[in-house]
Amino acid sequence: MSPVKITDVAVAVFLRLDGSFLLSSRPTGKPYAGYWEFPGGKIEAGETVRDALKRELIEELNVVIDTATPWFTFMMHYAHATVRLHTWRVTAWHDVDARGLRGMEGQEWKWQTMSNLTVAPTLPGCVPILRALSLPSIYVLTNAAEVGVENYLEQLRAVWNINASKRPPDGEFDIKNRPLPMMIQVREKALSPIALKNFAVEVVAIARENHALVLINGDANLAADVGADGVHLTSEQLRTTTERPAFQWVGASVHSQDELRLAAELKCDFAILGSVKTTQSHPGQPPMGWDAFADMVRDTPIPVLAIGGLGHADMMQAIACGAHGVAMQRQSLLQS
């Protein structure tokens, strides 16, 4: 049996500051004509993904990209082809000429949001991208045992109150300015089981009021008991888990490309990888640095957040290196 031919495709996920993204219809005469998709096209021989995006977006939409960063890469099997989709986030662009953004091949295009997705049908390849667009780019790991449970809960409430005026409608956020921790991991190794459950219940209640997600570190039973949105697997659990836990969101901690592969095979929604910088909890552990992080996540099939000594100020560096966003603990709440 001859090997399956794989077609590499560059995919542009245009993002505006209000959190909206661009979808376009497939022109007449192409497979799945009339379906909606993220713009892009085949990567020609000798082209990089960026090269292909630049060429395709001029040809398709009359725009030139100014800022684009790698995101994640995944396979799709269609009846007519097997494609490898290299998704990049495009956050700055300009028009080729005075005609502006337009369908150069007769296709339609529309700005959409996750809370108001009005076009249909969409290509199957859109599903993983839309899922990733629903994933916040700030992931807070709690440290309540360190600072005091009541103090931590007070800070958590305060951060939303302080930033309430900055919050876009319907829980939508742009990748450049997300001041709020919209996904929280309850990770408290030092609390007693009863104290941990009580704390988790409080965090879930606060999060529900603010359209945020809550995952419980390493404990699916506790996650179910407190009504959390998901569970976050430790790297040890990742190596022994054979089926994806039955939650809306499943994350995993990884430290190597092999563990990243396991997370993808388990169909985790995302992974966190580090430590990128020196951390307070592991001061003697050499950090991997941004270059090694970028090398490890290149062409990863799921979104990856960077972790390890990071804060809000590291967001754009993380995204430039291929991260979905940043995970943070001691710099997570009232610090910027």
**Per-domain residue ranges for the chain?**
6-128, 138-328
Averaged pLDDT of the chain:
91
Task: Look at residue 169 in the predicted model and tell me its pLDDT.
Answer: 46
Q: What is the pTM of this model?
A: 0.92
Q: Please tell me the predicted confidence (pLDDT) of residue 159.
A: 81
Could you check whether 6-128 and 138-328 share the same CATH topology? no
pLDDT at residue 205, rounded to an integer: 96
State the CATH architecture for 6-128: Alpha-Beta Complex (3.90)
Is the pLDDT at 30 greater than 90? The verdict is: no
Q: Angle 289-297/257-265 helices, nearest 10 degrees?
A: 40
Per-residue pLDDT at 2: 64
Q: How much is the pLDDT for 279?
A: 79
DSSP state at residue 230:
E
pLDDT at 79 over 90: no
CA dist., res. 51 & res. 34, Å (int): 26
pLDDT of residue 151: 94
Reduced to 3 states (helix: H, G, I; strand: E, B; else coil), residue 104 is: coil
Angstrom distance (rounded) from CA 50 to CA 48: 5
Q: Would you place residue 1 in the very low, low, confident or very high pLDDT band (cuts 50, 70, 90)?
A: low
pLDDT at 305 over 60: yes
pLDDT at 336 over 60: no
Closest CA to 280 of 306, 308, 304: 308
The answer on pLDDT for 332 being more than 70 is no
Position 168 pLDDT exceeds 80:
no
Domain at 138-328, CATH class: alpha beta
pLDDT(269) > 80? yes
Q: Predicted confidence band at 162 (pLDDT cuts at 50, 70, 90)? A: low
Residues 114-159: pLDDT tens digits?
A: 989 999 999 999 999 999 999 999 999 999 999 999 999 999 988 8
Q: Across the chain, where does the E strand assignment appear? A: 6-14, 21-25, 36-37, 40-42, 63-77, 82-95, 109-112, 138-141, 183-186, 213-217, 230-233, 249-254, 270-273, 304-307, 325-328
